């Protein structure tokens, strides 16, 4: 039995081949390794693939025992800090169950160097999404994960090429890029940059009328997909995340392409597949090396 653990914005999702469950980030502060019994007897778990925050201080899929500072440069920066992800990471590490930690995509990653104009491209759980989508659709995909934030990735010939992170381009419901007004508020001392980021999503910037918020996320998600299709016009397009079924019709219409829709469990299931393949001897995943 292999398990994937998705550290999402609002919840931690746990999945195996046979089941799944989730805990809010607040509920996860009370997590223990015994909770994995909801998926499998602990002594039958052969391996886990785990995400934590941005995963930005390492670039290989790495044995949890080798990871320093839980794989991040700093807890400061974009995102809400609750403690649930920290608790899960530490409990899994202490459990002794074979576990690998998935890196995010950043300047140390083996992506197209042009994407390294920005320090960060994607958090780790999106790699689980991309792996699951490639398993179904082939080695050339663009996948946009839309929920609290929106992140879109490109895979070409089975290798991750690059991604647009939430603070760069498309908004989600909670998070988005910092525009001119946000910069003015930060400079005026009215809020921190992180607070501005957490209020830059459409739930804060647009009225809730005529489905405007959903249509806006759909437009920007489609624009990210279109931008990445410039680098691989044969790639198939997929949507994941809680907003995926809601934005899919508009995205299909805007792109003029069929779009495959995945649910909120795509990341954790893809991570479980990564765990299975890593502990079965795969030397890399989507071009990211494995370090056991």
Number of structural domains (the chain) is: 1
The pLDDT tens digits for 39-90 are 988 889 999 999 998 889 999 999 999 999 998 987 665 556 668 889 999 9
Model pTM?
Answer: 0.93
pLDDT at 10: 82
User: Cα(first)–Cα(last) distance of the chain, in Å?
Assistant: 19
d(CA 50, CA 7): 8
pLDDT at 291: 96
Q: Which residues of the chain fall short of a pLDDT of 70?
A: 75-82
pLDDT at 75: 65
For residue 281, give its domain range. Answer: 2-170+211-291
Is residue 69 exposed (0-12), middle (13-18) or buried (19+ Cβ within 10 Å)? exposed
pLDDT at 84: 85
pLDDT at 81: 64
Please indicate, yes or no, if residue 106 is contained in any of the structural domains: yes
pLDDT at 179: 94
The pLDDT tens digits for 162-190 are 999 988 999 999 999 999 999 999 999 99
Please indicate, yes or no, if residue 117 is contained in any of the structural domains: yes
Residue among 191, 216, 190, 220 at smallest CA distance from 203 = 216
Q: Which two tokens stand for residue 203?
A: 């739930």
Please indicate, yes or no, if residue 187 is contained in any of the structural domains: no
pLDDT at 76: 61
pLDDT at 80: 62
Q: For the domain that residue 43 is a member of, what is the CATH number?
A: 3.30.420.40
pLDDT at 43: 86
pLDDT at 172: 96
d(CA 33, CA 272): 16
């Amino acid at each position: 039995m292999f398990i994937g653990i998705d550290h999402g914005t609002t919840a931690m999702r746990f999945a195996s081949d046979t089941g799944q469950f989730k805990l809010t980030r607040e509920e996860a502060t009370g997590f223990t390794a015994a909770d994995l019994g909801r998926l499998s007897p602990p002594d039958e778990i052969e391996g886990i693939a785990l995400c934590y925050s941005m995963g930005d201080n390492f670039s290989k899929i790495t044995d949890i025992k080798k990871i320093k500072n839980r794989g991040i440069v700093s807890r400061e920066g974009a995102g809400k800090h609750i403690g649930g992800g920290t608790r899960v990471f530490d409990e899994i590490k202490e459990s002794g169950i074979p576990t690998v930690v998935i890196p995010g995509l950043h300047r140390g990653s083996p992506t197209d160097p042009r994407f390294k104009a920005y320090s960060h491209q994607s958090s780790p759980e999106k790699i689980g999404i991309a792996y699951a989508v490639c398993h179904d659709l082939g080695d050339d995909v663009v996948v946009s994960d839309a929920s609290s934030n929106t992140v879109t990735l490109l895979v070409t010939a089975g290798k991750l090429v690059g991604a647009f992170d939430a603070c760069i381009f498309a908004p989600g419901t909670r998070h988005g890029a910092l525009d001119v007004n946000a910069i003015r508020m930060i400079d005026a001392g009215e809020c921190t940059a992180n607070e501005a980021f957490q209020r830059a999503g459409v739930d804060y910037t647009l009225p809730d009328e005529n489905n405007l918020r959903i249509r806006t996320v759909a437009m920007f998600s489609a624009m990210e997909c279109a931008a990445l299709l410039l680098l691989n016009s044969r790639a198939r397009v997929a949507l994941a995340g809680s907003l995926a079924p809601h934005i899919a019709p508009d995205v299909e219409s805007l792109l003029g392409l069929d779009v495959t829709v995945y649910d909120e469990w795509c990341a954790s299931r893809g991570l479980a597949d990564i765990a299975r393949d890593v502990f079965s001897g795969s030397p890399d995943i989507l071009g990211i090396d494995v370090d056991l």
